[in-house]
Amino acid sequence: MGPRVSIWFSVFVFALIASSIYAEEAESEAESKEHVVTLDHSNFDDVVGKHDFVVVEFYAPWCGHCKKLAPEYEKAASILSSHDPPIVLAKIDASDEANRQIGTLHEIQGFPTLKIFRNGGKSVQEYKGPREADGIVDYLKKQSGPASAEIKSTEDANNLITGKNIVIVGVFPKFAGEEFENYTALAEKLRSDYEFGHTSDLKLLPSGDFSAAGPLIRLFKPFDELVVDVKDFNLDTLEKFVEETTVPTVTVFDKDPNNHPFVVKFFNSPNAKAMLFMNFTNEAADALNTKYREVAEQNKGKGISFLVGDLEASQGAFQYFGLKEEQVPLIIIQTNDGQKYLKPNVEPDHVASWIKDYKDGNVSPYKKSEPIPETNDEPVKVVVADTLQDIVFKSGKNVLLEFYAPWCGHCKQLAPILDEVAVSYESDPAVVIAKLVRFIRVLV
């Protein structure tokens, strides 16, 4: 009897071990499973076409930002695969020659770019949410639901309207009719930029005129007038109202992520861009900021957008524009044709008069330039910003000009070749071979 028990016990132990090994393998397989769907030119249209909602990352394997996003994107895809209904996250290597046409079709300018495809790809919107897993999940859950959330209680209203973001709320006696349909169309079109809600009870909202009669649209924002109403439900008028009302009189450029969407909007504006850079903690900051805001108010709607940037957060801007900290506080204006105008060490009383001088054409453009070289007798001539016109555009000669960066490996490889070309044309007075250093930096 003893041996028989021993055999059955051994079988039991073996079964337990096998079960444990199988469970570990299954768990390992589940962990290794990729939840992000890989697309290419052969399946892109099919995958997008059969989903009502799918997010696609256009990436390049060599892109550092793409590599940083990859684990967050995969984690979000894993979580959203259990959503009801599941939310599909996909990716396509847009740098692959075979997929280039898809990238061109969707106007991919850089990597990574995320886009939301709705209704089988009939509607395409930019993804404008966070780049970490939890933020991606929260953003896409909202984006995959109704464009406008119904507000049924003060709790609903307070959860939506936090005072830190722009929220647009439609107030209607009933959720039907032309006004409601136009509002819904607005929400669907702009849902990737703003949050939308609708209610039949104006008194549920946290602020504004509670005696106003609907239907109306109430816009909440964390700057300037905190609450603005509109009653014109023409769709074009509504879009213009939202576009104009959601731009701060003065955009704040600092390390607060809540301000970043407004900074992006500022730099995407077609207006000339006035930027005041200063130390926010300086004792004179309040007086300067007050004068600057007054000028911004006076110039609202006149083709100039205004931004104030904290020195600590603006190092990228300083490198881009070639500015120096000893020039702070300073104002720089950049126009759409690339011209820049600079007022260093500005004082509060200087702001209004200098902006007026700029508008009247009485301020000379500022040039970021390396010093003019004392000698310029090498075969490849050195061009700086202050000599560009004379050597290149006004010389009447045929000029081959290289724009280069000293740290660029490809530029270093080209240098001896350019020297050879320059030597071969050294006796030709009609030809100039030259180089101009360019430092490219990201501003925001």
Active site residues: 63, 66, 408, 411
Residues with Cβ within 8 Å of residue 157, at least 6 apart in sequence: 151, 197, 199, 204, 205, 206
- State the Cα–Cα distance between residues 290 and 406, nearest whole angstrom: 42
- State the Cα–Cα distance between residues 241 and 106, nearest whole angstrom: 28
- Measure Cα distances from 202 to 61, 173, 184, 218, 373 in Å: 51, 10, 18, 10, 69
Amino acid at 280: F
Q: Which helix (H) or strand (E) holds 106?
A: none
Secondary structure class of 397 (helix, strand, coil):
coil
Q: What sections of 149-259 are H helices per DSSP? A: 154-160, 178-190, 235-245
Nearest to 339 by CA among 385, 284, 280: 385
- State the Cα–Cα distance between residues 393 and 373, nearest whole angstrom: 19
Rounded CA Rg of the chain:
30
- Token pair belonging to 100: 């280039």
CB 278 within 8 A of CB 308: yes
